[in-house]
Structure 1
Amino acid sequence: MMKTTTLVIAGLIALSGPAVAQAATATPAATTAANPLADAFTKAAATYEVPRDLLVALGYAETHLDNHEGEPSASGGYGVMHLVSNPTNKSLEEAAKITSLSAAKLKTDDASNVLGGAAVLRAKADALGLDATARKDPAKWYGAVAAYGQLADDTTARIYADAVYEALASGVDAEGVQTEPVQVTPDRGKYADDAPRALAAAVDYPGAIWKAAHSSNYAVSNRPTGDKIDRIVIHVTQGSYAGTISWFQTGPRPNPTSAHYVIRSSDGQITQMVREKNRAFHAGNYNRRSVGIEHEGYVNNASWFTDQMYRSSAALTRSIADRYGIPKDRSHIVGHNQVPGSDHTDPGPNWNWTKYMSYVTGGTGGGGSTNPHTAEEVCGPGYKTIDSQALGTSGTVYLMYSSSAGKNCVATIKKTSLGKASATSAFLEVKGAARKTDSGNFDYYAGPVQAAAADKCVKWGGSVGTATYTSEFEHCS
């Protein structure tokens, strides 16, 4: 682990565990003041013998612990635990049956909703045969967590469960509920071989993961030959990344819905679900002429709109605009709420159009000789450089550490083509876990890529253009 000048990282698929040694099975209690929601998690976890911090992490991955004032998500999920009632997911009804609470109360009362979530999660664990000993180990709950989401296939279920364990590993601080980072290596069981992969033959945007939407949720077309593509529509999912992917995979249903792309909040991961030549059902009057991009989150909660999401989406939008000759302006890159005849409000007032469009257009485009950004700025307050590697004259990749956050960070800072989009990447790989990468056509830098854990070696590196660096596994103690 990180001590004075070295850093160790361990973890999961994206963000990982703490940079202090902890037992793999530890589930430290959250540090909370008197808070009804925090108390609700403690009570529900005890009632159904569910690891309390795992229950919090599940709620955070679903909703950031926001009850959205009882309003349903796009897929019909309610409350901080996203209890769902739709034709393919009946977790709300399952919770009502187990707890003997009414559906109305489960929808609107936080304590009841959390109790219902714990009940459903425990039921999934029981179905998998977790005994009392196994239930004390958060690593053993991976299959139950994957089952809780009731996703369309195993690959999507893994995306969902990994997001929960990512939140467990990084710790939660939301709506007055806190958990400490917990070092866990999840037992993925049957999901071990279901890591999402990019399929070059299927995707229009390199690096995207391909997950096809149900055929009833889009129309096979021959764009731009049949219809000119001259708009890009920005959406917010009103739900989680994995849940939205699963919803688009589900059909037929009365309200067919899809988008060409879905982007994850935590790291900007992109999943393509409809080929650009085809018409996704996302924007009414603009379906024929546009490409739709969904962003994980809720319009009334700005915490979902991370810099990683903005920059990943902007790189995608820039690619689409360049390929179809779409002007990079607000007349052609529009919100769902701007589509004629739309009754939607997304992306909403928390979406930062100024930041987003600056990333789309390449900022000021000054192209000066000095990069205005530093690795410290990219990674955030408290991060200090513990290692670095020059990428020839093209840039430098930095490995950093924050003692207050207990995390590593990798950032690649360009020295050439400043203010102009060019291929840049940064990555961080914990030994025994999947590599996490931020790559695309960026104006000034790639990153931040962050993780933290105890007693693990880390491989790190990055690239600018053809200049690349990949370390050995190092910084192990």
Structure 2
Amino acid sequence: MMALRAHRLAVALAGLLAASVCLAGRPASAAPTAPSAPSDPLGSAFSGAAATYEVPRDLLVALAYSETHLDGHGGRPSASGGYGVMHLVTNPAHHTLEQAASLTATPVAALKGDGAANIAGGAAVLRAEADLLGLSAIDRADIAKWYTAVAKYGGATSPASARLYADTVYDLLGEGIRAVTPRGETVSVQPRPVTPDRGEYADAPDLNSPRLAASADYPSAHWAPASTSNYRVASRGASALDRIVVHVMQGSYAGTISWFQNPSAKVSAHYLVRSSDGDITQMVRDKDVAYHATVYNDRSIGIEHEGYVSDASWFTDAMYRSSAALTRYVADKYGIPKDRTHIVGHAQVPGTDHTDPGSNWNWTKYMQYVTGSGGGNPYTPEEVCGSGYSVIDSAALGSSGTVYLLYNASSGYNCVTTIKSTSLGTATATSAYLEVQGSTRITDSGNFAYYAGPVRASAADKCVKWGGKAGTSVYDSPFEHCG
């Protein structure tokens, strides 16, 4: 066994050395040649790095966008020590910044602050992962084959968070990207649905799956426990809790889940909210003390939001609505007043040096959603099903709610969700189902506060049955929408 491990280590070191000496017949230190004063510096950098390191250009852009929305933040680090648009990391457990410096013979300072150097460094690290996995030239030309390399690039500490990281990148490929950088440059990726080759992560838990075990405290959340080094086990009840603290991650959703699972982080929060669709993951039980707000730790629930304080593009309506529903649920559960004295930003914690959620956070909108002053269910079917889905049919469930059928023309998937109209915020029996002709029916059924679903399935050119239940009302469709 020791000999086998030594052999594997030698192979890995040899792969890294080979990657640093020669990639596709070129020195690894070679930087992409760009025209003088390009009008699209980041676009040219992505294309140049893709050509130099034989990494798909669209994959590089999608990875960068998932991490930073193509904002290098002036060379300042993320919460987990990541720099630049490619989020090259230096922390006790992950060192892609130093690896990129070695592979490209570029000073660390340049990798932190220069966009083109950072993109080249990210491409070199991703290519090195591909080489260690044994991807051939034919494999490298197939964007689906890069999935495992992308998962490893993120430095996740568990298979589930590694899969979430890579799935986020591949979802962006399917949806397409049109990003405007802080300097006004537009960088685009055309939608190109890809069925990824998940390799060793094929059987990893899917944190996006509605059928994954839900959190114990908030039924709409996934459960992905933080490292026990990053919180304290306790037995807090309603009498101990009087604050909810709003944070901004200074990083990505998948990356922050991974960071909170890393024992060296020494930080955590109870809940994390995703920008694109408001997805929620719980990482610390409400009863336990998360390390998120110093003097408020013992008395508060911490909610982290994907993104960066300086970039308003992360603060989507889906995020506001989902987070507000969570805050309202927690406040009602523990008797915390729904006002700005008791629902605070990290910057309001006494003695803190943090500024989040910052001036781009819309407290007025958020508190309207928390208090319900806007009226009605805070969720729409499009928000529940996600980006790219549009309603193609619906059926009323009496006065209790509506069940919706949606379709994503880019992916060929249908989605069904039941949106409640009554007993909002209270978990009541609600269900949604989708059955593609010739396949097994998929159902999401339980006690939910706002909606059931999303239930998604590939249904291009196939007939579907769909329906759901809210209160005592039920709807069941025939096979239809066959085109």
Q: Same fold (TM over 0.5)?
A: yes
Task: Report deviation, 1:407.
Answer: 9.2
Corresponding residue number in structure 2 for 1:135: 140
Q: Which amino acid aligns with 1:441?
A: A
Query: 2:82 corresponds to which letter in structure 1?
Result: G
1:224 to 237, 245, 250: 237
Equivalent residue number for residue 28 of structure 2:
none
Residue 294 of structure 2 corresponds to residue 284 of structure 1: yes
Checking the alignment, whether the CA contact within 8 Å between 2:416 and 2:432 is kept in structure 1 is: yes
1:117-156 alpha-carbon deviations (Å, 9 max, x no partner): 1111111111111101111111111100001001111110
**Is the 1:461–1:470 Cα contact (8 Å) retained in structure 2?**
yes
Displacement of 1:399 after TM fit?
3.4
Q: What's 1:78 paired with?
A: 83
Paired position in structure 1 for 2:396 = 390
1:240 pairs with one of 243, 247, 252: 252
- Provide closer, same or farther for how the CA distance between residues 453 and 160 of structure 1 changes in structure 2, counting only shifts above 3 A: farther
CA 1:117–1:220 in 2, change beyond 3 Å: closer, same or farther?
same
Match of 1:153 among 151, 154, 158: 158
Map 1:110-259 onto structure 2 (within 5 A).
110-174=115-179, 175=181, 176-194=186-204, 195-196=206-207, 198-199=212-213, 203-224=216-237, 228-252=240-264, 256-259=266-269
Which of residues 335, 356, 361 in structure 2 aligns to 1:351? Answer: 361
Check whether the contact 1:77–1:83 (CA below 8 A) recurs between aligned residues: yes
Structure 2 residue corresponding to 1:342, chosen from 335, 339, 352: 352
Query: Is residue 328 from structure 1 mapped to residue 338 from structure 2 by the alignment?
Result: yes
Q: Deviations over 1:95-134 (max 9, x none)?
A: 1111111111011000111111111111111111110111
- 1:198-232 CA-to-partner distances (Å, cap 9, x unmatched) read 435x621113222222222111222128x610111
Please, what TM-score do these two structures have when normalized by structure 2? Answer: 0.79
Unmatched segments (≥5 aa) in structure 1:
1-32
Is 307-316 or 190-199 further displaced after alignment?
A: 190-199
The separation in 2 between residues aligned to 1:284 and 1:361, in whole angstroms, is: 27
TM-aligned CA distance change 1:459 to 1:293, over 3 Å: farther
Task: Give, in angstroms, the shift of residue 393 of structure 1.
Answer: 3.7
Q: Which has the larger radius of gyration?
A: 2
Deviation at 1:386, TM superposition (A): 2.9
TM normalised by structure 1 equals 0.80
Amino acid across the alignment from 1:232: I
Q: CA offsets per residue over residues 351-392 of structure 1, 9 Å max, x none?
A: 121221122112245x7xxx9998799999999753222323
- Does residue 1:50 correspond to 2:55, yes or no? yes
**Matched residues in 2 for 1:274 and 1:384: separation?**
34
**Greater RCO structure (CA 8 Å; 6+ sep):** 1
Return closer, same or farther for 1:150/1:403 CA change in 2, 3 Å cut-off: closer
- SS of alignment partner, residue 94 of structure 1: helix
Q: CA-to-partner distance for each residue in 1:158-181, whole Å, 9 max, x for gaps? A: 010000001111111112100100
One-letter code of the match for 2:216?
V
Q: Does the 8 Å CA contact 1:312/1:440 hold for their aligned counterparts?
A: no
CA distance in 1, matches of 2:103, 2:300: 45
SS in 1 for 2:405: strand
* Cα distance between partner residues in 1 of 2:173 and 2:71: 17
Give the counterpart letter for 2:257 in structure 1: I
Gap change, CA 1:41 and 1:458, over 3 Å in 2: farther
Secondary structure class of the residue paired with 2:268: coil
Conserved in 1, the CA contact under 8 Å of 2:193 and 2:410?
no
- 1:237-260 CA-partner distances (Å, limit 9, x unpaired): 00111111111111246xx21111
**Other structure's SS at 1:106 match:** helix
Query: Does the 8 A contact of 2:193 with 2:411 survive in 1?
Result: no
Cα deviation for residue 314 of structure 1 reads 1.6
User: 1:26-80: CA deviations, max 9, x gaps?
Assistant: xxxxxxx941111111111111111111111000111111111111000000000
- Secondary structure at the counterpart of residue 298 of structure 2: coil
Write the mapping of 1:262-411 to structure 2, written as runs, cut at 5 A. 262-365=272-375, 385-400=391-406
**What secondary structure, in the 3-state scheme, does the structure 2 residue paired with 1:387 have?**
strand
What is the root-mean-square deviation of aligned Cα atoms in Å?
3.8
Is the counterpart of residue 88 in structure 1 residue 81 in structure 2?
no
- Which secondary structure state, in structure 2, belongs to the residue aligned with residue 287 of structure 1? helix
1:441 aligns with 2:449: yes
